[in-house]
Amino acid sequence: MDLCGGEGKLDGWHCHKIADRRLHRFCCSWAAEHPLVLFLDDLQWLDAATLDPLEQLAIGQEPHHLLLIGAFRDNEVGPTHALRRMLDAIHKAKVDVLDRARPPDNR
């Protein structure tokens, strides 16, 4: 899938920013009047550049009818991990967050 299609020859940074804007526009247009639920699994594998647009969706004023559900392995996300920084920023922005930790597997 070419998220930068029609934009000519672009470097990675510009292409990434265009993809971020397109994701945001898609979510805003879809969730303007209808509920949109995004479930994202294995968030511990994402880097900061990939988490940035998710953080903007979670903290921003738009879209209004968006529910983000994320799953990650807590034992793989330390205090300096990009995901931990994103979650801290979301908490500081006073976004409603429901945290649920799965109990350890005792097999």
Give me the residue spans of the domains in the chain. 12-92
15-37 pLDDT, tens per residue? 878 888 888 888 888 888 889 99
Could you tell me the end-to-end alpha-carbon distance of the chain, in angstroms, rounded to an integer? 41
Is pTM beyond 0.85 here? no
3-state helix, strand, coil in the chain (%, to 5): 45, 10, 45
52-84 pLDDT, tens per residue? 999 998 998 777 788 999 999 989 999 999 999
d(CA 48, CA 83): 7
